[in-house]
Structure 1
Amino acid sequence: MTPESRPPIPTEGSGRSVQDYIDERPVWADATPVHHGPITNMQWFIWWLAAAGKLFEGMVVFTTGVALPLMAKEFALGATEKGVVAAASLFGILIGAATLGGLADRYGRKQMFIVEMVLFGIFTVLLTLSPSYLVVVAALVGIGVALGCDYPTAHLIISESIPSRIRGRMVLGAFGFQAIGALVGTAVGFVILFENPDVAAWRWMYASTLVLAVPVIIGRFFIVQSPLWLMFRGRVEEAEAATERLLLRDPLYPKEVILHRAQARDKHHEHQWGEAPWSALFQRINLDRTILASVPWFLQDLGTYGIGMFTPAILATVIGASVAQPRNVAELIQSDILATKGA
């Protein structure tokens, strides 16, 4: 649940809200307001690190489409096992997004932002070293859980750090990196297959994501904690320091951040807002919003994952490069290269 959906924090005395400071725009010498306030380096840094999570999602899912024929050869997979491998990361994303997204409310945006990417790196290493089919599936599910958990966290950390006038565009822009990741994953798969035509090449495809994941993990340690989350927790002094760091610019402005002082939270309201069951999404008052929010995502994911993941195999069949029963490894790899090149 985002801070916008919670009851406002009671305040006392003077001070402004975190969002007031984030949304503030400079004025010219004649007091004419500037239409677009500058985004600080920290705000851009947070945005790029959040977009990286979507990049990795696209890379992993589409790399699986390229790597699947090689995995099938190495582990002698049948049709059912291939389907499980293809769906494993998506199943993990479902679990992570649906069940673990709320951890950022409990433990903090920054903490979960780091943990998710660390888990992604650990399971990616496990995947590249997998000795068996079952370990491959477990590693892909783990990768999916980490990326799924990153869904709500990335959305929250962008929304709580960016001016409200451009919040929607920045969130959508970050999520658009999923498509870029799909292209990168397919391209990297092709290059690795071309340079290393071996059945084990699929391991290098997944390992290539670590080249980007390591600096992203390190970078997430250096972002600022969400000031809005700190305010909701009643940690006002920390929120003021975090807001100053978030909006640090040259020349320095604001020179001082003074936020509303939070009073003790109303436990009745906290319980009322925090215990809504899943069934509330399907109650009459929320049903239209649930449908309008979920159906477009379903259709988008159906095309992106349901069809996109198997684009290399589909293209291989269309262009006549698919071989139903490869006679040797070279024939299998050549078919995969042609399919990936077409994708």
Structure 2
Amino acid sequence: MHDTATPPPLKPEMEARTVQDYIDETPQWRDGTPVSATPMTAMQWRIWSLAAAGKFFEGLVVFMTGVAMPLMSEEFGMGAFEHGLVGAASLFGILVGALTLGGLSDHFGRKLMFIIEMVIFIFFLILLSVATAFPWVVVFLFGIGLALGCDYPTAHLVISESIPSSARGRLVLAAFAFQAVGALTGTAIGYLILTLMPDVSAWRLMYASAIIPGIIVLVGRFFVTESSHWLAAVGRVPEAEEQIRRLLKRSPDYPKAIKLKVRHHGHHHQHKKERTLKT
């Protein structure tokens, strides 16, 4: 008599998916019931707020300069030309930084540039608050603008590559709206300091007031995830999978397991053809 017992069915292999598939996926609760939307995790909100902070500082510095300029003029004896240089220095730095340095995150990673930009911003803020001559004021304002300009495309990327598609558009716009919040805050801080300290050197304290908030943002940026999109694009797939786990950490855990599609650069079409022939 032959044993007719059928072997247990093989467990199907986990399907590989893209980074955005996991980010956009609607989680399920323990009973298998899907939630009504794709909720943002704590890490996703942290990334968004730290990116929005860069836009906040941009508005803060530009509008604070308008309040500080009369005091600078009195201290350094500025004429019309010098006024123009001070007003344009940070804006020109933002333009140059965005156009020439924005692509660095494609080579060195989103997180590293996210950190370096804030280090440069704080460095030039400190130098500006102790500047002893007019030319240095222009140079340091340009350096601040350079850092903020570099942060401009990086902030857009870190938001776009970590946020669900359904919320991406409005959250990118909301982050950039923080320029206006920064502008109002910068103007208010400038007038408050001028009221409490009616001295020609009060402009230094205006810029120095942004140093501690900048340090807080810098520390926060050390603890965000690297972009899994970027890691996967440069072939660091295991790291990309680990960063997705950190990005999407929630309770209850979802997704339970992560397996990314691997793109074979240069041999993509040949591999695709081989898979077609096998099927």
TM-score by length of structure 2 reads 0.88
Report the CA distance shift for 1:164/1:135 in structure 2 as closer, same or farther (over 3 A).
same
Cα distance in 1 between the residues matched to 2:73 and 2:67: 11
Match of 1:175 in 2: 176
Please tell me whether residue 22 in structure 1 is matched to residue 9 in structure 2.
no
Conserved? CA contact 1:47–1:174, under 8 Å: yes
The alpha-carbon deviation at position 37 of structure 1 amounts to 1.6
Cα distance in 2 between the residues matched to 1:81 and 1:262: 54
Conserved? CA contact 2:109–2:226, under 8 Å: yes
The alpha-carbon deviation at position 27 of structure 1 amounts to 4.5
Cα distance in 2 between the residues matched to 1:24 and 1:251: 15
Match of 2:226 in 1: 225
Q: Give the letter for the 2:260 counterpart.
A: L
Match of 1:111 in 2: 112
Deviations along 1:174-214, whole A, 9 cap, x unmatched?
00000000010011111101111100000000000112101
Match of 1:37 in 2: 38
The alpha-carbon deviation at position 264 of structure 1 amounts to 3.3
Please tell me whether residue 166 in structure 1 is matched to residue 176 in structure 2.
no
Equivalent runs, 1:162-311 vs 2, <5 Å: 162-265=163-266
Match of 1:122 in 2: 123
The alpha-carbon deviation at position 262 of structure 1 amounts to 2.9
Cα distance in 2 between the residues matched to 1:28 and 1:60: 45
The alpha-carbon deviation at position 135 of structure 1 amounts to 0.3
Which SS does the other structure have where 2:27 is aligned? Answer: coil
The alpha-carbon deviation at position 14 of structure 1 amounts to 3.8
Conserved? CA contact 2:27–2:254, under 8 Å: no
Conserved? CA contact 1:236–1:262, under 8 Å: no
Percent identity of paired positions between Structure 1 and Structure 2: 60
Match of 1:77 in 2: 78
Q: Give the letter for the 1:19 counterpart.
A: Q
The alpha-carbon deviation at position 40 of structure 1 amounts to 0.4
Deviations along 1:243-267, whole A, 9 cap, x unmatched?
0000001111112111112323469
Higher relative contact order (CA 8 A, sep 6+): 2
Deviations along 1:52-72, whole A, 9 cap, x unmatched?
000000000000000000000
Q: Give the letter for the 1:90 counterpart.
A: L
Gaps of 5+ in 1: 1-12, 268-343
Cα distance in 1 between the residues matched to 2:252 and 2:116: 34
Match of 2:158 in 1: 157
Match of 2:94 in 1: 93
Aligned length: 255
Cα distance in 1 between the residues matched to 2:16 and 2:122: 42
Q: Give the letter for the 2:243 counterpart.
A: A
Which SS does the other structure have where 2:253 is aligned? Answer: coil
Report the CA distance shift for 1:266/1:212 in structure 2 as closer, same or farther (over 3 A).
farther
Q: CA RMSD in A?
A: 1.6
Which SS does the other structure have where 1:194 is aligned? Answer: helix
The alpha-carbon deviation at position 30 of structure 1 amounts to 8.7
Report the CA distance shift for 1:29/1:117 in structure 2 as closer, same or farther (over 3 A).
closer
The alpha-carbon deviation at position 222 of structure 1 amounts to 0.6
Cα distance in 2 between the residues matched to 1:19 and 1:187: 41
Deviations along 1:314-341, whole A, 9 cap, x unmatched?
xxxxxxxxxxxxxxxxxxxxxxxxxxxx
Which SS does the other structure have where 2:170 is aligned? Answer: helix
Which SS does the other structure have where 1:262 is aligned? Answer: coil
Runs of 4+ in 1 over 3 A off after TM superposition: 27-35, 264-267
Q: Give the letter for the 1:17 counterpart.
A: T
Cα distance in 2 between the residues matched to 1:81 and 1:124: 20
Match of 2:133 in 1: 132
Cα distance in 2 between the residues matched to 1:124 and 1:259: 42
Computing the radius of gyration from Cα coordinates, the structure with the larger value is 2
Please tell me whether residue 148 in structure 1 is matched to residue 149 in structure 2.
yes
Match of 1:66 in 2: 67
Q: Give the letter for the 1:212 counterpart.
A: P
Cα distance in 2 between the residues matched to 1:125 and 1:30: 54
Q: Which moved more, 1:228-237 or 1:23-32?
A: 23-32
Deviations along 1:89-116, whole A, 9 cap, x unmatched?
0000000000100001011000000000
Conserved? CA contact 1:67–1:189, under 8 Å: yes
